[in-house]
Amino acid sequence: MSIADDRPAARFRLSALIYDSRYRAITIQILFTLAIVALFGWLISNAATNLARLGITPSFDFLWNRAGYPVSMTLIDYTADSTNGRAALVGLINTLFVSALGCVTATIIGVIAGVLRLSKNWVVARLMTIYIEVVRNVPLLLWLLIIYAVFTQVTPGPSAYRGDNPSAHMWFWHSVAVTNRYVALPSPEFWRSLGNIDLGIFKVSIDLMALIVVIVAGVWANRRYLRRVTRIQEATGRRPTTWWVSTLLILGPPILLLAALGFHLDEPTLKGFNFTGGILAPNSIFALWFGLSVYTATYIAEIVRAGILAVSKGQTEAAYALGLRPNRTMSLVVLPQALRVIVPPLISQFLNLTKNSTLAFAVAYPDLGGTLGGITLNQTGRALECILLMMVTYLVVSLLISLAMNIFNQSIRVKER
């Protein structure tokens, strides 16, 4: 037998938004959001009022005006007659290029340094400790200036490579020359090139696209082959030799494609007082690349060390009991488990490296801050627009890096049943 509750429902009172725990959190969030919106509204209104008083009308039309200045390093077509928008794109591509190189190199150096710091060899462990503690406790700007000074003051000039008995010698089978102005490198060329696809903003090499497709197809075929080998091992208890098949699947097709396209290297040659041919990369990119890599690697090394120490020692002891050597134990047992701890803080280091690339001005590297936030800003006087574009650009780049790394982090997490 049930008794009906005829009590009238309690009326909603405004005081419940503060004193009732069911509504208090929502109230605080709404008030905080309104405060942020009001703050941004006031900032925008204040900026518009001040600009109007100065007779300045915010506009982005300057992006389509002639830039009128050269850029020392360009990965896409650019001349002084190009637009300011094109110059900004050149700077953005240069920023992304050096950031990508730095992230890869810093990760490699950081992993090696982090593993070696845990080495049982006292000398190696102490050397890694000294490297990490010294480098990360000196400001990055000073390291960039030191490295750039080494490139510009210690290395010889191009004329030192001239003559029968030159005072300087080229490296890597006479194909690389390090000078006080640039580094002369061989450039890849094709006798039978497939041409380029003009997308308007930049051109895409069909040769490069074909090479990427062939490499991806080879990696996919190798994964299918390794899965088949694993099934054979599970059925028979013996694993066939796979290294030569994997080598053929991964390296064979690209080598055949390069041979078909007539791949060769255009080596730089000294003519007069300068090198011609090949790639003449300014010293600024190497100074910025090395500085960012070596500096960020110290933080990554500590992250790797912490991740390794987070893995239970029982895992290592079990691997040793199975007969695995220390290097195989580290690569097959410890590091895969440590990735769950390493990847989240590693995302922050990649973001820091990308944002630290704005120090490129110290070594005269033409990044986004040097083109859009530097020369373009000074020539056009559009400080607000240039800084706003830079903020939005770095925000988008940072969010994309976070998204990509979070997807990778989700793919390596332990999937529980």
318 and 400, same structural domain?
Answer: yes
Rounded to an integer, the average pLDDT of 174-203 is 84
Residues 224 and 298 occupy one common structural domain: no
Mean pLDDT of 288-309: 94
Are 147 and 219 members of one domain? no
Q: Examine the pLDDT at 9 and tell me if it is beyond 70.
A: no
**Does residue 209 carry a pLDDT above 50?**
yes
Segment 382-398 mean pLDDT: 92
How high is the mean pLDDT of the chain?
87
Together in a domain, 353 and 407: yes
Q: Is residue 36 part of a domain?
A: no
CA 136 and chain centroid, separation = 19
Are 245 and 288 in the same domain? no
The answer to whether position 204 is within a domain reads: yes
Q: Which among 48-62, 115-129, 160-174 has the top mean pLDDT?
A: 115-129
Identify whether 50 is part of a domain.
no
Task: List 83's β-bridge partners, or say none.
Answer: 66
- Quick one: pLDDT at residue 267? 87
Do 350 and 385 share a structural domain?
yes
Do 303 and 402 have their domain in common?
yes
Split at pLDDT 50, 70, 90, the class of 285 is: very high
What CATH number does the domain containing 114 carry? 1.10.3720.10
Q: What is the pLDDT of residue 8?
A: 56
Tens of pLDDT, residue by residue over 54-97, are 887 888 889 999 999 999 888 888 999 999 999 999 999 999 99
Q: Is residue 309 part of a domain?
A: yes
**Residue 413 phi, psi (nearest 5):** -70, 155
Structural domains counted in the chain: 2
Q: Is residue 143 part of a domain?
A: yes
Range of the domain at 234: 197-261
Name the band, by pLDDT with cuts 50, 70 and 90, for residue 197.
Answer: confident
Checking if the pLDDT of 414 tops 80, the result is: no
> Do 291 and 255 fall into the same domain?
no
Is residue 378 included in any domain, yes or no?
Answer: yes
pLDDT, tens digit, for every residue of 320-336?
A: 888 888 888 888 888 88
Q: Is residue 380 part of a domain?
A: yes
Do 257 and 291 belong to one domain? Answer: no
Residue 1 is predicted with a pLDDT of 47
Regarding whether 82 and 140 lie in a shared domain, the answer is: yes
Name the β-bridge partners of 263.
190
For residue 416, pLDDT over 60 is answered with: no
Q: What is the crossing angle of helices 206-236 and 243-261, to 10°?
A: 160
Query: What is the per-residue pLDDT across 125-158, written as a single tens digit (0 to 9) for each?
Result: 999 999 999 999 999 999 999 999 999 998 888 8
**Is residue 381 located within the same domain as residue 301?**
yes
Same-domain status, 128 and 239: no
Report pLDDT for 230: 85
Does the residue 37 lie in any domain?
Answer: no
